[in-house]
Amino acid sequence: MSSREIADLVESRHDSVKRTVERLAERAVIQLPPMVEVKNHQNQTTYEYRIGKRDSYVIVAQLSPEFTARLVDCWQALEQHQISHIPQTLPDALRLAADLAEHNQALESQLADAAPKVAFVDRYVDARGSMTFRQVCKLIEAKEPEFRGFLLDRRIMYRLNGTMLPYQNHIDAKRFEVKTGTNITNAHAFTQSRFTTKGIRWVAGLWAEYKVGYMA
C-alpha cells in the first residue's frame, strides 16, 4: 500500500501522511519504508512510500483512527486479489493452507505469550496503586524511549518543558493523577504525573496489543 493510498483513505494531504510516516520512523515506532518514484495524472514525477500492512495500521491509528475499518476492508480486497489465482493445483492449495496456518499459529502464540503478562499487571497494580512512568516501564517490560514514543504518538501524554504530562481527557478518565509541589531542597516547583490503577491496566492492554502486532 502506498502513502498516497493512505492519504486518500483518511482524506488527508499526501505530504501530511509522509511527514507522519517519517516522524513515526524517527521514533522507531515503524520502519522507514522504501520510497518509489511515480507519475501522477499530470505526468509529473512524485514520490510515495510503500508501506506494509502492520505499519499501515499504526499510521492510520495516528492520523485518523475512525478510518481503521476502511483500512481493514482495503487490505482484505488487496489480499483477496493476490491469492485468488494462486491455488490452481492441489499442491499449491495445500502449500497456501500451510502458510496461512503457520501465520495464524504464530499470531496465536504471540497472544498466548502476552496474556500472562496482562494478568500479572492486573494482580500487581491491585497491590501497588499508582505508579510513575519508569515504574510502569519496568512492570510491562518496555524500553523507556520506545514506551515514551508510544505515549506521544497515541496522544496519551505530551512534553512540556521536558516533563511528560497526560492529556486532559485521560486525566478526566481517571487514568492519571498529576501532583504539584515544591522541592524542599532548592524550592523549585515540580509536577509529577502518575498512572492510576485504572490507567496502568488500560495502557498495559494497549501496549500488549501494540507489541503483538495483532493486525500484522
The C-alpha torsion from 183 through 185 and 186 to 190, rounded to 10°, is -10
At 106-148, the pLDDT tens digits run 555 554 555 555 555 555 554 456 888 998 888 888 899 999 9
Is 97 domain-assigned?
A: no
191: its cell numbers? 509536577
Is 125 domain-assigned?
A: yes
Specify whether 120 is located in the same domain as 79. no
At 65-94, the pLDDT tens digits run 667 667 776 676 766 655 555 555 556 665
- Residue for grid cell 500500500: 1
Specify whether 134 is located in the same domain as 196. yes
Kindly state the DSSP code that residue 43 receives in the 8-state scheme: S
Specify whether 79 is located in the same domain as 129. no
Half-sphere exposure (Cβ direction) of 65: Cα atoms closer than 13 Å: 5
pLDDT of residue 64: 73
Specify whether 119 is located in the same domain as 193. yes
* pLDDT at position 214 over 50: no
Is 93 domain-assigned?
A: no
Instruction: Give the pairing of strands 163-166 and 157-160.
Output: antiparallel
Specify whether 11 is located in the same domain as 69. yes
Kindly state the DSSP code that residue 89 receives in the 8-state scheme: S
Looking at the 3D structure of the chain, how many domains does it have?
A: 2
* pLDDT at position 59 over 80: yes
Specify whether 132 is located in the same domain as 202. yes
Is 108 domain-assigned?
A: no
Specify whether 71 is located in the same domain as 154. no
Find the helix or strand (DSSP H, E) in which 174 lies: none
21: its cell numbers? 510516516
Specify whether 69 is located in the same domain as 139. no
Q: Binning pLDDT at 50, 70 and 90, where does residue 165 land?
A: very high
171 vs 42, residue with greater confidence: 171
Is 89 domain-assigned?
A: no
Specify whether 77 is located in the same domain as 162. no
Half-sphere exposure (Cβ direction) of 37: Cα atoms closer than 13 Å: 3
pLDDT of residue 66: 66
Q: Where are the alpha helices (DSSP H) in the chain?
A: 3-10, 14-26, 53-63, 68-83, 90-128, 133-140, 144-153, 168-172, 197-212
* pLDDT at position 15 over 70: yes
Specify whether 62 is located in the same domain as 125. no
CA angle 210, 164, 162 (to 5 degrees): 130
pLDDT of residue 29: 78
List the domain range (segments joined by +) for residue 170: 114-212
